[in-house]
Homo-oligomer: A and B are copies of this chain.
Amino acid sequence: MKGLNKVMLIGNLGKDPEVQTLEKNIKVAKFSLATTESFKDDKGQIHTLTDWHSIVLWRGLAELAEKYLHKGSTIYIEGKNKTRAFEDKQGIKRYVTEIIGEQVLMLDKKES
């Protein structure tokens, strides 16, 4: 271990995961996750603030996402921040930060 890059989130999926199957049958799932925070302003009024996170899951976790996660699901996810460069339609270099999930825990009560 040479450094630490850890992200831990509890929140809800904004949409159903988008799952792709790559060569060798490796799957990737992508979705955005909302985390909500509430805080008091100077006047004691409670406000709510939502952050959106771009989540990427690989292999077994992508399969779990495909099977069990959907819009609105509440999950705990642990992973790492990765910023990668890509070119947009105009050929301009842009950056996006994604969270590569390493552990996922489903937090919805089973509706039996």
Contacts and interface: CB of A to CB of B under 8 A. Distances in A.
A80 B4 CA distance: 15
Q: How large is the interface on A (under 10, 10 to 19, 20 to 34, 35 or more residues)?
A: 35 or more
Interface string A84-112: 00000000101111010001110111000
Nearest to A96: B95
A7 B7 contact: yes
B2 A51 contact: no
B35 A3 contact: yes
Interface string A1-33: 111111111110000000000000000000000
Interface of A: 1-11, 34-38, 48, 51-53, 74, 76, 80-83, 92, 94-97, 99, 103-105, 107-109
